[in-house]
Structure 1
């Protein structure tokens, strides 16, 4: 009996090729498109459905907007309000794609779940682990760090031994309409909406000062939580001796500290880790 694989199809070229390759390998492939927020581009669902039709595989849309908003979106807002810079895509992979959705598909008879992530698996000491893919420029293993270890054996990454160029060529070979589709950028649940515009729906304007590393006032900002460390663009700085980058945020005083590229304050020899998997 063929193994049943649910492929999470975003409507992009990567997940479309992942589904195509698994179908060619003889799996019983079922396409699943996740609707995660009101900002989703409806064209993505249409593209995913079109690819499923070409491959002649079943296709379903699962609306997980409520689950996503109550976990990932809410966590994102809370962390920015605290002056932190969260990674919602990594949290989504742990709690939603390979959490809530994984459990749901398992009840539907799933043998494997597959995605278009650029990642590989390898068995080490009788345990499957996630490894860096062939195309290191597209490496997405960082976003997969939080997946529960016991679930890795149920996940397939068909693109692990392919480069992006090879993936696009395969898409053309399959006559997929998304072969030349641009890669998505930014946070997945925001679609084409800018992060700052999303945050402004929930966080009030809270004007404060922009200081350089010596304490000189260079400008002002609408709220420290609208900026992130390392950010260069969008700073209201009028001096001509830049460019400046966000080095630190001080939520208590509502300051943003900026520095030039060669200043020591931009660099660190330490890192704090939590939730280590």
Structure 2
């Protein structure tokens, strides 16, 4: 057993049906955790069924709209019932809608605020309630929020998205302080993923060309790589391994932190 071993831990991953969330769920399961995937997409059930099993691990799926408080109450209850507790919450669900500030659509702003900020806030709320002493799980644990390198750089075309991911960073730090002051025993950290060629990442690159900021999606990707000392885009595995670290005992004294997983882009 190593400090990265999550055997016996119970995790809930939002937005786990695809992309980064799916990779994070797979990495947590590979490290020994039992995982509930929470997503609006019912394909999350197939993802849960395909997670590494054996060794006492159990996986499940629950439908979750992160902006709806009753959904959160149900998702937490489902996780505790299915897995016998909750030790790890990954607030990964999020959306990105590109746009120039001169053309911003109020409805797009509201949608990003609801999913990225309200959704993460409700996740923290119900995660802390469940994991604190006297909660449905009651044994402490770790919350990992997914921010973005966009919170640390001034990249054109993603102003509101950047603002919402900056809010995730602030929520993380205040939540860690409240948890500590109130004796909840829950560490709260976040990661700042760099650009990863998932469906969301590819969509962002295409948007940059459509907005006229770059001559093509390939040029936009090249600009990101040029800004990255590691000289490449990130991978799902890069991000997932960072989440496993923050959820594990290897990060037992890491609290209220933002971990850049961006190849140095945001330094």
Decide which structure has greater helix share: 2
For the criterion TM > 0.5, the same-fold answer is no
Q: TM-score range by the shorter chain?
A: 0.3 to 0.5
Decide which structure has greater strand share: 1
TM-score of the two chains, using structure 1 as the length reference: 0.36
Bigger radius of gyration among the two: 1
TM-score of the two chains, using structure 2 as the length reference: 0.37
